[in-house]
Amino acid sequence: MKKSILFNYMSLLAMVGLLSCGNDPIDDSGLLITSRAQCYVTAFDLLGSDHRTVLVSGQTKIDTTALTVLAVARFGTNMQRVKPFCSVVTDAIVEPNMGVWTDFTQAQKYTIVSGNRQVRKTYTVTVTLQQ
């Protein structure tokens, strides 16, 4: 009886050990590649040189079908030096990276890549300035 309990315990331990050694795939940035195929933007923000948002509240429209983001920056914003940020669905990534000073006098394109890295959707982000 004692032997049987010990055997079961050791088997369980071995199984946990084997599972924990699973070699989950990661991408070039060291991020986990998962099974998620969802691929969309959930939020967008734009910061000025003072690291405060320049967007007019409630004016940002994200269209996950047309793959567009439309936003309005406050009067006086220096559109040549703003820093974009966004939120995306779980495990997805953005290419190229946001969070760098960017010239938004023209619309910018960002590609969202799903968690499984199989689905890619390119969004066009257009920010207009209050005149």
Tell how strand 93-95 and strand 83-88 pair up: unpaired
Q: Using the minimum distance from each CB to other proteins, give the nearer residue, 54 or 125.
A: 54
With a CB cutoff of 8 Å and minimum separation 6, the contacts of 75 are: 129, 130, 131
Q: Which stretch binds other proteins (CB under 8 A): 14-22, 62-70, 71-79, 111-119?
A: 71-79
Stretch that binds other proteins, among 5-13, 32-40, 47-55, 112-120 (CB under 8 A): 47-55
Looking only at the bridges linking them, the beta strands covering 41-47 and 61-63 are: unpaired
Shortest Å, Cβ 45 to other proteins: 16
Q: Is 123 left (phi over 0), alpha (psi -120 to 50) or beta?
A: beta
Give the binding range for other proteins (CB under 8 A) out of 18-26, 45-53, 59-67, 117-125: 45-53
